[in-house]
Amino acid sequence: MVGGVFAPGRSGVQDWLRLRASAVCIILYIFYILCFVITTPEITYEIWRGFFSSLFTKIFTVLTLLAVLIHTWIGMWQVLTDYIKPVARRRVLQRLIIITLLLYFLYGSLVVWGA
């Protein structure tokens, strides 16, 4: 049996909860953006920029980015665990995915907070 995503000896219930929590965060963000788009009669660059310059939207966007990355990591971990049997190859791929996801988080944070 393979250990948990974040630490050895964890149960799948914690990963399941993380997936559900991240999915809820993602769906709430989609509703937030849809509500803005639906309730705004005309969306110009200035209005869109103003919307994304609010502190709440920036924090919500970064949290959603983090939720997407957590969701991605758990899914990729499960796929790699199921289909890549040689441990060394699986670990290399997992590390590459972790590095990629960290780079996505850093770049996404820079875009949201303006570097």
- Domain residues for the domain of 70 are 55-115
Residues 39-60, mean pLDDT to the nearest whole number: 96
Q: Is residue 35 part of a domain?
A: no
Average pLDDT, the chain: 91
Say how many domains are in the chain.
Answer: 1
The answer to whether 14 and 83 are in contact (CB under 8 A) is: no
pLDDT for the residue numbered 99: 97
How far apart, in whole angstroms, are the C-alpha atoms of residue 28 and residue 13?
22
pLDDT > 70? residue 114: yes
User: Does residue 4 sit within a domain?
Assistant: no
Taking 80 as the threshold, does the pLDDT of residue 7 lie above it? no
The per-residue pLDDT for 25 is 97
Q: Tens digits of per-residue pLDDT, 70-97?
A: 999 999 999 999 999 999 999 999 999 9
CATH code, 109: 1.20.1300.10
Q: Is residue 96 in a domain?
A: yes
Instruction: Give the tokens for residue 88.
Output: 């060394």
